[in-house]
Amino acid sequence: MTKFDSLLEAEYVQTQSQRNLSVARLLYLANCCFILGFVAWDVAIDRNQALFTLLVRGIAAAFSFGVFCLSFIVNLKNYTYLFSYISALASHLAQSIVLISLEQGLVYGTTALTFFPLVLVALAPTSRSTLSVGALGFFLIPNLVMAIAKTDRFLWLNANVFLVATCLLFYILGMMTDRGRRQTFLLEKTLEQQATQDGLTGVANRRFFLELGSREFQRAQRYHKHLSLLLIDIDHFKRINDNYGHPIGDKAIIALTELICRVVRHTDIVGRIGGEEFAVLLTETDRTGAECVAERIRTAVTEMRLTMGGITIVFTVSIGGATLTADYKDMQHLIKTADDALYQAKGAGRNRVVIAKNGYD
């Protein structure tokens, strides 16, 4: 599994854990209602054992309700499926004891054993092994109870045929549910990436960069923080495409992106806002800091050598920048100032940095 896959898996598990917590709470209450809802059925089947089965049902319902209350006190996000499984397993055990205790209980009520495993499918299983252990638990508990009670061999055989079918169905539905949710999650992430990331470089696209930039602009204005913007443009990029072809031009853009991301901090925002034009929003950075970062990028680009197919590519960049002051009305105003500075850098011969002289300093 790649690093990206691992991060995606962790995000999926976290997302499902948050969703499952509310579903699990409904499951705990459903357990209580289901277990207690058949008290009248116990009386109708075997009045003599109804008091004992009521006690068993009461204990199981109290356990499930206790887990329900616990979910509001303790952070169970990472253990939601485990607690839900334990709750369902306890209810499954109680139901098995009830069916064995009642006269002809197994004949009339074996189908009740399907409720707990099949309702549990509503939660996203964490893995195939989780499903396997879950199915095994739902199969073994009734058999253990029947073995202790020395159940008639014919009833035992019939119950096991039913249990095998139920556990197999639980396993298959669990796999299908988890697979469907994973596909939906991956589709949502793909659409999100397409909407926010540049397809070639992986950094923020123009629309998403402007969205993030507007948020940072408002935050910096509200709390009187420094904020600087750099616009970076590859000099004579058309020549690279014309002389070496667009695939080489794409590799140059990717190499520049990787270089920028290495130079700036992880808190800064990098975006591709044009064909060969990039924008970098430097948080908590004044004019002096912005100029320092811009020079580091410019110098690193001039020293960079791209060798592809026996061809060595060398190129430079021009950088324009601006630093936030109280005079700026919005993000577009800051971009306009940085763009003017970039135009000056290009007009002065390219391969240079021009930062507008309007910072806090």
Q: How confident is the model at residue 119 (pLDDT cuts 50, 70, 90)?
A: confident
Q: Are 290 and 282 in contact (CB under 8 A)?
A: yes
Q: What is the pLDDT of residues 162-206, one digit of tens each?
A: 899 999 998 888 888 888 888 888 888 878 877 889 989 999 999
Q: How far is CA 42 from CA 48, 97, 102, 356, in A?
A: 9, 12, 7, 84
Residues 278-302, mean pLDDT to the nearest whole number? 96
Rounded to an integer, the average pLDDT of 267-276 is 94
Residue 201: φ, ψ to 5°: -105, -20
The answer, yes or no, to whether residue 1 has pLDDT greater than 60, is no
- Do strands 311-313 and 317-323 pair parallel, antiparallel, or not at all (unpaired)? unpaired
CB-based contacts of 281: which residues, under 8 Å, 6+ apart?
A: 209, 212, 213, 216, 227, 228, 229, 268, 269, 271
Q: Tell me, what's the pLDDT at 130?
A: 80
Give the start-end residues of each E strand in 143-251: 227-234
Answer whether residue 126 shows pLDDT above 70: no
- Please check the confidence at residue 343 and state whether its pLDDT lies above 60: yes
The answer, yes or no, to whether residue 290 has pLDDT greater than 80, is: yes
141, pLDDT greater than 80:
yes
The reported pLDDT for the residue numbered 3 is 44
Centre a 10 Å sphere on the Cβ of residue 67 and count the other Cβ atoms it contains: 20
Q: How far apart are CA 260 and CA 249, in angstroms?
A: 17
pLDDT reading at 254 higher than 90: yes
Mean pLDDT of the residues in the chain: 88
User: 182 versus 288: which is more confidently predicted?
Assistant: 288
Give tens-digit pLDDT for 46-91: 999 999 999 999 999 999 999 898 888 877 666 787 888 888 889 9
According to DSSP, the β-strands at 353-355 and 317-323 are: parallel
The predicted structure's pLDDT at residue 267: 92
Please report the pLDDT score of residue 4 as a whole number: 46
What percent of the chain lies above the pLDDT cut of 90?
Answer: 54
pLDDT at 287 over 80: yes
276 tagged catalytic: yes
Segment 23-42, tens digit of pLDDT: 888 888 888 888 998 999 99
Selecting among 216, 276, 277, 291, the annotated active-site residue is 276
Average pLDDT of the segment spanning 122-128? 72
pLDDT band at 235 (very low <50, low <70, confident <90, very high): very high
With CA atoms as reference, report the closest residue to 68 among 112, 35, 113, 109. Answer: 35
Q: For position 259, what pLDDT does the model report?
A: 96
Check whether 143 has a pLDDT greater than 50: yes
DSSP 46-62: -GGGHHHHHHHHHHHHH
Q: Flag whether pLDDT at 135 surpasses 60.
A: yes
What integer pLDDT is reported at residue 125 of this predicted model? 66
pLDDT of residue 361 exceeding 70, the answer is: no
Pick the closest to residue 82 from 118, 26, 125 (CA basis): 125
Identify which has the larger pLDDT, 110 or 18.
110
pLDDT for 359: 41
Encode pLDDT of 4-23 as tens digits: 466 677 777 677 777 778 88
Q: Backbone dihedral region of 227: left (phi > 0), alpha (psi from -120 to 50 degrees) or beta? A: beta
Q: What are phi and psi of 261, to 5 degrees?
A: -65, -30
